[in-house]
Structure 1
Amino acid sequence: MPFQVPPDVSTTVHGHVTDALRAPSLIRLSDNVVLLRFETLKIYAALGAVQALLADGTVRPGDTLVDSSSGIYALALAMVCHRYGLRCHIVASTTVTPAIRAQLEILGTKVDQMPAESDLRLDQDRRIERVHQLLRANPEMHWMRQYHDPAHRLGYAELADLVRVALPGVPLAVVAGVGTGASSAGLIQPLRQHDPSIPLVGVQPFGSVSFGSERFQDPEAIIAGIGSAIPFGNIRPELYDQVHWLTFRYAVAGTIGLMRAHAVFAGLSTGASYLVAAWEARRHPERTHLIIGADTGHRYVETVFARHRDALDPGRLKPTEIDSLDDLTPDWSAMGWGRRRYSGT
């Protein structure tokens, strides 16, 4: 019998790898939980921002784009620069892996990597100061400002269209690691143009300043890229309906649990979101909970997957439900945020 290509398998021949990588795989994990799995989610952020800069003449082929990154944005920006004939300079976190650094260098990216540092705030402050040094020495460089420039939200409108086509007429809830805030805002706003009721559930590590848990110390979870030691302008708290805070070990439980239950090899923010989505889905069975799976598990092999024998059983975990940030309690807290603003402490 001749082989037949399944109707939902793309046979498109792409002109550049960025077009292939930006398309996620949609994987149904349960009746009302669907995973949007990416090799690197931030292709959408980098593509949208760079295309806008090229369109308005802010940058031209041959110009140099510079930014700070802990890993996946750096690689996304480098690939987009490769596509459009731009130069790329990355000030890399100490957490950027040798595999990512090698790819960046092969793509022609200049990489300045910060020395090993256990304090994430110091790591981020050093990176920003290094960017300022580069701009003073090379004022023709363009600073991408992924943490603050709203242009990084633009590319996610295409993702919202894809979701609406894949899940037509389905009541949704979006569950995502907060990170820089660009993907959450960029996805939920166009979705809400069609259904303003769609909840956005944000996932944070303890220790992040983004939603007021900075008094806690959990550096491993923050370094993994789902939290922040400094304020990020692209985070819009007024878009979130619910916020969950997890410790590193609970995020590990979700990540290993996702692999065991569904054979999905994904990053720490995806695992944390999976744990949260499973709990939210039991409480709200009327909605399909869409998990944003930002990256694969490759950069977490040593820090997460090598610990699989010690991982907690995610089925036994549940949050402490709180009404005030004063009541935040590790290892897992959940709070109705109610789309309110938050200016920090």
Structure 2
Amino acid sequence: MTETRSIAQLPSVPPISASPAGEVYRSVVEATELPRIIRITDNLYAAAFSLMKLLPARYIIDRAEVAGVLTPGTPVIETSSGSFGLGLAMVCRLRGYPLTIIGDSAIDDDLRNRLELLGARIELVEDHGAPGGIQGARLARVAELQREFPESFVPGQYDNPANPAAYAMVGDFVTRTLGAVDCLVGSVGSGGSTCGLAASLRLREPSLHLVGVDTHGSVIFGPAEGRRVLRGLGNSIIPGNVEYTAYDEVHWVSPAEAFHATHDLYRENGLFMGPTSGAAFQVASWWARHNPYSTTLMLLPDEGYRYQSTVYSSSWLNETGIVPVPNTAGPRLVEHPDEAGDTWSRLIWARRSYESATDREIPA
């Protein structure tokens, strides 16, 4: 088997913290890969990234270079229809690696243009109903290209342990900034950010409560039913980087709820972020209100510019029939993933295995 290589501030009001004066970064990657820590309420904080997945993309490339499996000119092939692909394209462009992105129709024209301006070649595949859905189809095409170009390197965001490992530096940054965190809330797609950051934060606070945010139609925390409309979180495959025994509870949110929360995040706090951030904000706000003596941190993965013609567009929302609505009742507590329904639901996962929580084996 061929090995793949694979803020004007009043003078009398000091800032809570500040970056070192006069610091010059070596690249845009170094300048933007860490989040801004922003206080939202008395006990709720946001780790707001410009592009969160830039961090694991850079880290994975670094590790491959150190291991000698990624050398000048090596082709890089990866599956992505969102922010990981963009982060990877930035890193590969800066370091001179030819990049092919295998994606699907979730790559909108604006994102495709940004990727291509960075030199990436984009290949789109369709979901033909095979096991694993669209992600399965994308991974199958990556495998075909691997066989065709055996000298290529595949970052493998879903299964590469360097993905969660990259978030150790975020954990160090958060600990230096906030101290101990009691609860971490984040959307789950590949599992890298929530599992990786939780592992790092638990070095200081082992009892840290990890809340994973998923969406209906995703297979990650149980069987999917229907089409997954809310993209950027959830999955049609189960990534190897999802460490089930790390999660204390799981929430499923609907597109209408998440889009409303995304708008509220901007209206109430001026944070112009994407829908996965809105989903995390919806859940984290609820959790922080119900746990007022706990420090809650939510992950906001990317900014909202990519979504101006969709989530932030009333015409697009009308065309798709999605009416952003708040869920004022809060999540419905369920005892099994099968009971999640199609609105905001909450399950006490209790750091169980997938098999224990779902009464099923992990799908092949």
- Tell me the amino acid that sits aligned with residue 192 of structure 1: R
**CA drift at 1:213:** 4.1
Match of 2:308 in 1: 301
Q: Which string of whole-angstrom CA distances, capped at 9 and with x for unpartnered residues, describes residues 53-97 of structure 1?
A: 111112112211110001110111111122333221111221112
Whichever residue aligns with residue 198 of structure 1, its letter is L
Q: Which residue does the alignment assign to 1:210?
A: 220
Q: How does 1:51-200 map to 2 (within 5 A)?
A: 51-114=62-125, 121-168=132-179, 170-200=180-210
**CA distance, structure 1, for counterparts of residue 129 and residue 303 of structure 2:** 24
Gaps (5+ residues) in structure 2?
1-7, 356-361
Task: Identify the residue that residue 233 of structure 2 maps to in structure 1.
Answer: 226
Structure 1 residues 87 and 312 mapped into 2: Cα distance closer, same or farther (>3 Å)? same
Mapped partners of 2:227, 2:133: distance in 1: 15
Change (3 A) 1:119 1:266: farther
Aligned to 1:326: 338
Map of 2:295 onto structure 1: 288
Deviates more, 1:30-39 or 1:106-115: 106-115
Counterpart contact for 2:127–2:133, Cα < 8 Å: no
**What is the match of residue 263 of structure 1?**
270
Letter in 2 for 1:311: P
Shift of 1:14: 1.1
1:180 is aligned with what amino acid?
A: S
TM-score, normalised on structure 2?
A: 0.87
The one-letter amino acid paired with 2:210 is L
Matched residue type, 1:68:
T
2:299 aligned partner, one-letter code: I
Q: Cα gap change, 1:3/1:199 in structure 2, threshold over 3 Å: closer, same or farther?
A: closer
**Contact map agreement 1:199 1:240 (CA 8 A) in 2:** yes
For residues 222 and 95 of structure 2, what CA distance do their matches in structure 1 show? Answer: 39
**Conserved? CA contact 2:251–2:347, under 8 Å:** yes
Find the residue that maps to 2:50 and give its secondary structure: coil
Q: Which has the larger helix fraction?
A: 1
Structure 1: tracts of 5 or more residues without a match = none
| Counterpart residue number, 1:39 | 50
AA of the residue aligned to 1:249: A
- Tell me which residue corresponds to 2:3: none
Residues 35, 48 of structure 2: 8 Å contact kept: yes
- 1:113 shift after superposition: 2.2
User: Normalising by structure 1, what TM-score?
Assistant: 0.91
Q: How far is 1:3 from its partner?
A: 10
